């Protein structure tokens, strides 16, 4: 394969430190109030112009993490829509390396899509405005606009009405079961057990607390936990086991299935992870990570991906940005 010079971004996972279901729209979409927070755990996406059509290659730290490299992959869909909006041929060579589990509530596919939009937009010379890029993002998924920004954001509406939040950095222990929770099934189950008011178009912006550390003052919570545990009873058993081990503050992210614990100090997170690894069985993975930096990662220039990608940050004025 011809050596190409391309661009690369880490596609970071997220946690929903807070997730409340506060209403529904006439079209059935749930209205949320959620605190998105990016973490260090990430996929890598490398992109170059070339070939004919979208040539997507997918690898992973583990074979179980690899997702299909087909037209339904969110990366391929994002690039196809970007090229159509820019009026150019969708000729891209893409290498996606997976570390984020699929269907785990960590936003891996959405983050990959956002990274593809950012990289493709850079390669094409930024033909679209921010509003047009955000419109492409929300059409791919409600949380894709968040990943264009990164950091910590309150998300309202269906999760796409974003307001910057301030959350002190933390260390996290992720508990990843060997199964996912189908998002549609979790929301459907929640709807069946929830008595809601009349449909509405959005959520009042005053509902979010205005504090320096929103998550601390409101407490981590997730309204979808009961529904996810009804869809996957084994998730409830796992949560109870973690509580019995001594961690009653364990929470779920997104629509599941990943559970997480937060710590102020790295040593406490490592100690927790060691204890969980010693006692949890059945293919459960324990991952130690931490908060990512504020805002979006800068685009980097890199040679054709392989073992040990060599990332070279853009110089000022060459298209790199950290917003």
Q: At 48, give phi and psi (nearest 5°).
A: -140, 155
> Is 14 an active-site residue?
yes
98 is catalytic: no
Residue 186 to residue 84: CA distance in whole angstroms: 33
Going by the DSSP 8-state scheme, the letter that residue 298 receives in this structure is P
Q: Which tokens is 217 given?
A: 């003052």
3-state helix, strand, coil in the chain (%, to 5): 30, 30, 40
**Annotated catalytic residue, options 43, 143, 160, 297:** 143
125: left (phi over 0), alpha (psi -120 to 50) or beta: left
Q: What is the DSSP letter of 291?
A: B
Phi, psi values for residue 153, rounded to 5°: -145, 140
Q: Among residues 14, 43, 112, 297, which one is catalytic?
A: 14
How far is CA 240 from each of CA 104, 236, 245, 251, rounded to the nearest angstrom?
A: 18, 6, 9, 11
Residues with active-site annotation: 14, 143
């Amino acid at each position: 394969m011809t050596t190409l010079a391309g661009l690369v971004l880490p596609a970071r996972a997220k946690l929903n430190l807070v997730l409340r279901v506060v209403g529904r729209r006439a079209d059935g979409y749930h209205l949320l109030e959620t605190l998105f927070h990016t973490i260090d755990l990430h996929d890598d996406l490398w992109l170059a112009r070339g070939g004919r059509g979208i040539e997507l290659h997918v690898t992973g730290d583990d074979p179980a993490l690899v997702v299909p490299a087909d037209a339904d992959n969110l990366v391929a869909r994002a690039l196809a829509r970007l090229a159509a909006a820019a009026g150019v041929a969708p000729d891209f060579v893409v290498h996606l390396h997976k570390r984020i589990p699929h269907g785990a509530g960590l936003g891996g596919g959405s983050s990959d899509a956002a990274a593809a939009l950012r990289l493709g937009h850079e390669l094409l010379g930024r033909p679209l405005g921010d509003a047009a890029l955000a419109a492409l993002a929300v059409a791919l998924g409600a949380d894709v606009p968040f990943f264009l920004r990164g950091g910590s954001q309150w998300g309202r509406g269906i999760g796409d009405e974003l307001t910057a939040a301030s959350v002190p950095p933390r260390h996290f222990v992720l508990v990843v079961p060997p199964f996912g929770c189908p998002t549609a099934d979790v929301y459907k189950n929640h709807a069946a057990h929830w008595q809601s008011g009349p449909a509405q178009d959005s959520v009042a912006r005053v509902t979010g607390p205005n504090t320096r550390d929103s998550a601390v003052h409101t407490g981590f919570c997730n309204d979808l936990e009961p529904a996810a545990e009804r869809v996957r009873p084994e998730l409830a058993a796992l949560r109870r086991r973690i509580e019995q081990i001594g961690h009653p503050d364990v929470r779920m992210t997104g629509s599941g299935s990943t559970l997480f614990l937060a710590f102020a100090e790295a040593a406490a997170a490592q100690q927790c992870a060691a204890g969980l690894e010693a006692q949890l069985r059945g293919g459960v993975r324990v991952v130690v990570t931490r908060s990512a930096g504020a805002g979006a990662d800068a685009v980097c220039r890199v040679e054709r991906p392989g073992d040990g990608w060599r990332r070279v940050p853009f110089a000022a004025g060459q298209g790199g940005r950290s917003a």
